[in-house]
Amino acid sequence: MAIPQEFISELRMRADIVDVVSSYVKLKRSGRSYLGLCPFHGEKTPSFTVSPDKGLFYCFGCHVGGDVIGFIKRAENLDYIEAVRLLAQRAGMTVPENTADNGMSRLRTRIYEANRAAARFYNKQLYTDEGREGLEYLRGRMLTDSTITHFGLGYAPKSRFALVNHLRSMGFTKAEIIQANLANETRNNNAIDRFTDRVMFPIIDLRGNVIAFGGRTMIKDFKPKYLNTSDTPVFTKGNNLFALNFAKNEAKGTLILVEGYMDVIALHQAGFRNAVAGLGTALTPEQANVIRHYCNEVILCYDSDNAGQMAVSRAIQILRPMGIGIRVIAVPNGKDPDEFIRSYGDQGPARFRMLIEKSGNDVDYRLRKLQSSYNTDITDQRVGYLSEAAKLIASLDSSIERDVYISKLAQEQGVMKEAIQEQVNRIVRKNSSSAAKREFRELKKQIIAENSAADRDKYISFGSAKAEELLIALLMNNVDIAMDVFRRVPPELFTSAFNRKVYEIIKSNAEQGYDFSLADISGSFTDEENSRIAHILFSHTRETYPQQAAEDYIRKMQENSERITRDQVASADDDELRRMMAQLKKKKT
């Protein structure tokens, strides 16, 4: 059963979209709208727009948009009803009890509850006779009791049924326990504990929910050494970071990104409470977007082995395009942060702080790493290094930054600055030309993809579809003329199936006496469809004479001429596509 429309309308009025989005994105006023860096993809120039007048957000870079409910869905990885709940709680409203739950929402709630119960169970087991080995391991890593309590560390017993039996006694079903990935199902349809004889690390989200676990085996040479919760309805490994729930309040503009749970915990205990870690995977773009909410600089401190250095390179490739400052720490003697701090005893924290202070930025790191592959005493290899270094410098966006590194490289290698400058400029020009071609191909791909993803009709009449979009935007912005249009224009007049669906829903809402802003109808559409509606509303300005504009759009829809098939667009080369667009523009004029 759907949430009452009246409740959604009131929630929309109380949940100011600028206030809500400002909790996640730094916004700056631009005319009647607000601009910021998109939280859903990496960018340096703001293309993320929030319109308080329309109650919408839209990113002109990644084409994601919607209302305030849609924003919370994406930002918090929630389903529709959970997003409504979160906004309602923020606005001091209560979602009507008899309509608040659906199957998935209830399952997610039960998984949160099961995870919380499991975390308490594991923590209690740590202080039993069976859990003594796990407790001794943690104390052997120099963790204090207060640190163990702070992170909620625990122990999973050796029995394959210890947690399952405990949760079943609390009323959780076998299906719920398996869905939470706290247990696996055997061939005999029994549930057995996923984690056994392991020290347990609860993973907690930004709202304080236990969403997953990591477990380190107590058996020597047993594989895998670390076992993590698989993806569940409340947890996606590539979207979360360990200890961010603590670090976000201590970041002060900088986060330290390390590899493992113990590295994070050791750093927090040593006073570096802005440390976080991935969850058994290399840094993902989704994690980087989360990081960007809480800092403008990341200090990378990964292991010095090949896997660690590859992880550093990947993190740089993801973080730098987002405009996040990067520094890289090289821990001496191949140690990880935990080992390094412990090796110096009481002086460990001070020694680690010295590493931070001496750390260079990502460009310095990459140039050093590149140089280590060449013997620059040999002429050919020196030329090879300089050529690769020029490519790296050419990839930098800032001309000032390029000039600094060109000068530095010329001085270090005893080469004329002008020679390196010329090489770098040549690469920059080549890259710019290639980027322009890629941008045009991407535009062509988007034209095809948008029409195929959101509109399955074989034919798209560009002129008619544009008029349909304009009419939809006009109606949603001018309620006073809507009923007259609804009476005169049947849904069948729409050639685009997607536009027809939008029209039918806003028409139905109007006829039932409900509002039909995007916030009022978003529950009827997918995230992709809501983004497309937001694009329609953002792309079309308010008309001075809406009644006259409506007449023009309806007339164009009735003419319904000049069809171009998606197949024609897909098969056209760049020159043909330009000619098609020019012809349509000429006819329109």
Would residue 446 count as lying in a domain? no
pLDDT at 578: 62
Please tell me whether residues 252 and 216 are part of one structural domain.
no
User: Which residue matches tokens 């996923």?
Assistant: 194
Please tell me whether residues 47 and 128 are part of one structural domain.
no
pLDDT at 32: 86
- CB of 77 within 8 A of CB of 540? no
Please tell me whether residues 554 and 470 are part of one structural domain.
yes
Rounded CA separation 315/298 (Å): 10
Average pLDDT over residues 411-431: 91
DSSP 174-205: HHHHHHTTSEEE-TTS-EEES--SEEEEEEE-
Please tell me whether residues 88 and 143 are part of one structural domain.
no
Rounded CA separation 35/37 (Å): 7
**126: which 2 tokens?**
């740590």
Output 382 or 438, whichever has higher pLDDT.
Answer: 382
pLDDT at 278: 92
Would residue 534 count as lying in a domain? yes
In three state form, how does the secondary structure of 155-180 look?
A: EECCCCCHHHHHHHHCCCCHHHHHHC
pLDDT at 556: 86
CATH code of the domain containing 49: 3.90.580.10
Q: Which of 51, 77, 99 is the last residue of a domain?
A: 99
User: What are the φ/ψ torsions at residue 464 (nearest 5 degrees)?
Assistant: -65, -45
Q: What is the pLDDT of residues 97-142, one digit of tens each?
A: 655 456 777 888 899 999 999 999 999 999 999 999 999 999 999 9
Q: What is the pLDDT of residues 258-304, one digit of tens each?
A: 999 999 999 999 999 999 999 877 899 889 888 887 888 999 999 87
Range of the domain at 27: 5-99
Would residue 449 count as lying in a domain? no
- CB of 286 within 8 A of CB of 238? yes
Q: What is the pLDDT of residues 525-542, one digit of tens each?
A: 888 899 999 998 887 766
- CB of 237 within 8 A of CB of 228? yes
pLDDT at 458: 38
Would residue 450 count as lying in a domain? no
Would residue 162 count as lying in a domain? yes
pLDDT band of residue 320 (cuts 50, 70, 90) is confident
Rounded CA separation 287/310 (Å): 17
Would residue 443 count as lying in a domain? no
Residue 533: CB partners within 8 Å, gap ≥ 6?
65, 66, 472, 502, 518, 525
Q: How many residues would you count in the chain?
A: 589
Average pLDDT over residues 204-219: 94
- CB of 256 within 8 A of CB of 326? no
Would residue 562 count as lying in a domain? yes
Please tell me whether residues 570 and 459 are part of one structural domain.
yes
Say if residue 503's pLDDT is above 80: yes
pLDDT at 119: 98
DSSP 389-412: HHHHHHT-S-HHHHHHHHHHHHHH
Q: Which of 376, 433, 473, 528 is nearest to 54 (CA)?
A: 473
Please tell me whether residues 327 and 252 are part of one structural domain.
yes
Please tell me whether residues 191 and 88 are part of one structural domain.
no
- Longest alpha-carbon distance in the chain: 84
pLDDT at 349: 95
Burial class (CB in 10 A: 0-12, 13-18, 19+), 214: buried
| Mean pLDDT estimate for the chain | 86
Please tell me whether residues 189 and 68 are part of one structural domain.
no
Q: What is the pLDDT of residues 32-81, one digit of tens each?
A: 899 999 988 878 889 999 998 888 999 999 999 999 999 999 888 788 88
Please tell me whether residues 138 and 230 are part of one structural domain.
yes
pLDDT band of residue 456 (cuts 50, 70, 90) is very low
- CB of 510 within 8 A of CB of 482? yes
pLDDT band of residue 558 (cuts 50, 70, 90) is confident
Say if residue 453's pLDDT is above 60: no
Say if residue 2's pLDDT is above 80: no
Residue 156: CB partners within 8 Å, gap ≥ 6?
122, 125, 162, 163, 193, 195, 196, 197, 198, 200, 215
- Where residue 20 falls (left for φ over 0; alpha for ψ -120 to 50; beta otherwise) is alpha
Average pLDDT over residues 248-252: 88
Please tell me whether residues 122 and 212 are part of one structural domain.
yes
pLDDT at 78: 83
Q: Which of 83, 99, 115 is the last residue of a domain?
A: 99
Q: Which of 48, 68, 99 is the last residue of a domain?
A: 99
**551: which 2 tokens?**
């007449």
Average pLDDT over residues 402-416: 93
CATH code of the domain containing 135: 3.90.980.10
Domain count, the chain: 5
Average pLDDT over residues 361-389: 92
pLDDT band of residue 497 (cuts 50, 70, 90) is confident
CATH code of the domain containing 479: 1.10.860.10
pLDDT at 457: 46
Please tell me whether residues 168 and 265 are part of one structural domain.
no
Output 322 or 226, whichever has higher pLDDT.
Answer: 226
Would residue 37 count as lying in a domain? yes
Please tell me whether residues 78 and 142 are part of one structural domain.
no
pLDDT band of residue 1 (cuts 50, 70, 90) is very low
